[in-house]
Amino acid sequence: MKKSALKIGTRGSDLALWQARWVESEIRRMSPGCDLTLEVIRTKGDRILDSPLSTMGDRGLFTREIEEALLDGRIDCAVHSLKDLPTELPPGLTLGATCRREEVRDVFIPHPVNPVRTLLAQRQGAIIATGSLRRRSQILAKRPDIRIVDIRGNLNTRMQKLRDSQWAGMILACAGVTRLGWEASIGEMIPVDVMLPAAGQGAIGVEIRAGDAGAASVLESLNDRATACAVEAERALLRTLEGGCQVPIGAYARIDETGDLLLLDAMVASLDGGKVVRGRTHGPPSGAGEIGRALAETLLAGGAEGILREIRSGGPLP
């Protein structure tokens, strides 16, 4: 029997609210008898905006308080950007749905007066803003002359910081930019051979209590098989590498046009971009988790283990 009421937990940023309202509208469309409400919950990542993500610890930075509300029964499901959701969920919680993925790539947003629209064509010594070590390392691997500055805040805040700066531009996830209607600011959709995305990027995950059959029934129609398989492979790779916001790891999985083959690309890089270990594999979508774990082991054996050990030793950013 379908649950008649569902309280949806979400962060309060414009993007988080867009995602939660999208999930709410999809549930209303598919389960019109369900009574839905939104509950906004502030997380540690929302409260502390003056520190780089790489210095704050990353397990549950944008999810822990929401998951506590879910476990306490204050909410019935939680809407997350899947790239923010730790690969190990707390006991008693599970993913109720992995929604259809939007564009997975990162984008370059040039300064409004910068006529150079693409990332790698920027002038010598150009300043690029990003809050991601993954993006930082991949930029420096291609252009070690570029200067990287850290940026935090919601999309409106970042856009204003860019306008007020002398930066050449900044890097953001395409999905967030387009969901909030900022497509006109995009200079370039960065190719994945230049910059692999974060695991889960572009996908929305809905977390529920394990064993909550009512919530699971309501959310079942939101689950997208192709996205779920791809994200499972990416998150299995990330889990095996024990990576997160403090580690430059990129992963991109997708199912080919036949529907019978899952392709996975991944990379691990040093903080200065001087060392990059990259790999590719494939296999049946039913083996998504094992595909991710196997590629992680290949990367570790190919040099990623040394890179990760060096990063975790706590050396400063270059």
Domain spans of the chain? 1-100+203-223, 106-189, 225-313
Average pLDDT, the chain: 92
Are 106-189 and 225-313 the same fold in CATH?
A: no
To the question of domain 106-189 being in CATH 3.40.190.10, the answer is yes
Asked if 169 and 129 touch (Cβ cutoff 8 Å), the reply is: yes
Report the catalytic residues: 84
| pLDDT at 20 > cutoff 50 | yes
pTM score, whole prediction? 0.91
| pLDDT at 48 > cutoff 90 | no
If you classify domain 1-100+203-223 with CATH, what class do you get?
alpha beta
Q: Mean pLDDT over residues 309-314, rounded?
A: 86
What pLDDT digit, counting tens, does each position of 135-177 carry?
A: 999 999 999 999 999 998 888 899 999 999 999 999 999 999 9
| pLDDT at 52 > cutoff 70 | no
Fold of 225-313: Double Stranded RNA Binding Domain (3.30.160)
Cα of 96 vs its chain's centroid, Å: 18
Going 160 to 176 to 108 to 280, the CA torsion angle's sign is positive
Among residues 196, 209, 184, 71, the alpha carbon closest in space to that of 132 is found at 196
* 277 or 3, higher pLDDT: 277
